[in-house]
Amino acid sequence: MLGGLGVATAAALAALLAMEISGSEALSGLASTSSVIGTALLSLPLASLIAARGRRAGLTLAYLIAAVGGTVVVIAAVLGNYPLLLLGMTAFGAGSSASLQARFAVADLAEPGQRARAISTVIWASTVGAVLGPNIAAPAGRTVTGLGIPATAGAFVWSTAVFLVTAVLVQLLLRPDPLLTARALAAAGAGEAAGPGGAAHDAAAHEDGHAPRAKRSAREDRSLRAGFAAVTASPRARLALVTIAVSHTTMVSIMVMTPVDLGHHGAGIQLIGLVISAHILGMFVLSPVMGRLADRFGRLGVILLAVALLSCAAALAGTANGSHVQSAVGLFLLGLGWSAGLVSGSALLTDSVSLPARAAVQGLSDLTMNTAAGAGGALAGLVVSQAGYGWLNALAAALLLPVAALTLLVLSRSGKSTSVSAETAGT
């Protein structure tokens, strides 16, 4: 909840702050893009730290880096320094890295048949903070104007404080560490624990940072190379990776330029905050529904639902032409489609790889999705300045075609495999 608050409070005004400092609409999208790039750059180091030291160490460090980034953004706003702003936004992206990794933390100890539901519950928990965030951006700005800080940077002051509190809470309360516990239990189940209480002993050793030598040698299996190999070997893992990356890229590309488009049509900060709140509400509030659907009816069906929702969102937002209500509906569906894609894709990815490679695959997933979204956000400002907001939505929707094609291909192969198995059993 606090992580969602920290990210969303500042995200609503990032593009406007960038345009205010740079004086260029084409450069305005680079602020949010820098945050996405920061999330991508931190994905692998964070995954490596998590693989070695567990979820708690990785999440705590990520929130602290985000707090440093928020401080740098405020300094850049006071100085009017655009390159420094981008540097601060890059570090600020660590907050999103932590929020993304949190969904995998809950999946560590979840039963396979309830994994999507567990992931969606953590995503849903971000609802309160994420929806409240954009709406307190304006009050946050008013609290700092007397301090010589621009109103549009006030949200980053508040976000920095929130990230610091979140880091302290994770460090104190995320015990026992879920990933280290899952590994210890898996080792015990495979007969690798040394005598009675061996699993608990291994977990405690990991917590203290003194893993047994066998565990240390196993870290090589959790490298980026191992993660890439695990994804390459599984068609479902490849589909999951593409689904997560495309869903996130489509969402980010449209979302980062929506405040600018709304501003062109006379919307003020308060109205922009309400529209972004509708978007964030769609991202989080119905995620438990997506989780239940993915667990009950399968991951692939929810992936197709994500494609349909994101396509409708792009159509509505791209043809709003100043209709703030239509923009709000479009952005709500954009968030809903993102939720469906992220929940189903994350569950499918976790299902498709082994526990030893899981941390590396999850790091690869976050790297891929944020690198793609960073490129999309960077190009979004250029597309809007040269062709318009409608074309941006059309191009974002076109990204969904490969996801639909791959999903149908996997479904087709699954059907053929089932048919062959039935014939073999009959014979």
At 240, is the pLDDT very low, low, confident or very high (cuts 50, 70, 90)? very high
3-class secondary structure, 312: helix
Burial class (CB in 10 A: 0-12, 13-18, 19+), 415: exposed
Place of tokens 């070997």: 233
| Mean pLDDT score of the chain | 83
Rounded Cα–Cα distance for residues 130 and 127 (Å): 5
Nearest to 331 by CA among 342, 352, 315, 355: 315
Q: How far is CA 360 from CA 188, 349, 369, 406, in A?
A: 22, 12, 14, 23
pLDDT at 214: 37
pTM: 0.76
Domains and their CATH numbers in the chain: 2-179+222-413 (1.20.1250.20)
Burial of 418 (0-12, 13-18, 19+ CB in 10 A): exposed
Task: Name the pLDDT band for 95 (thresholds 50, 70, 90).
Answer: very high
> Could you tell me what percent of the chain has a pLDDT over 70?
88
Quick one: pLDDT at residue 58? 93
CA 264 to CA 259: how far, in whole Å? Answer: 9
pLDDT exceeds cutoff 50 at 426: no
The residue among 335, 289, 284, 339 whose CA lies nearest residue 313 is: 335
User: Which one is predicted more confidently, 46 or 423?
Assistant: 46
Alpha helices, DSSP H only, in 190-298?
198-207, 213-218, 224-232, 235-264, 269-284, 287-297
Residues 193-228: tens digit of each pLDDT: 444 444 444 444 444 444 443 344 344 345 667 778
Residue for token pair 């495999």: 417
CA angle centred on 81, ends 77 and 83, rounded to 5°: 115
Measured over the CA atoms of residue 344, residue 372, residue 404 and residue 321, the dihedral's sign is positive
Residue 170, pLDDT score: 94
User: CA-to-CA distance for 344 and 298, rounded, in angstroms?
Assistant: 8
* pLDDT, tens digit, 9 for 90 and up, residues 247-277: 999 998 999 888 888 887 777 777 887 888 7
For the chain, the residue count is 427
Of 119-128, 215-224, 306-315, the poorest mean pLDDT is in 215-224
Segment holding 267, helix H or strand E: none
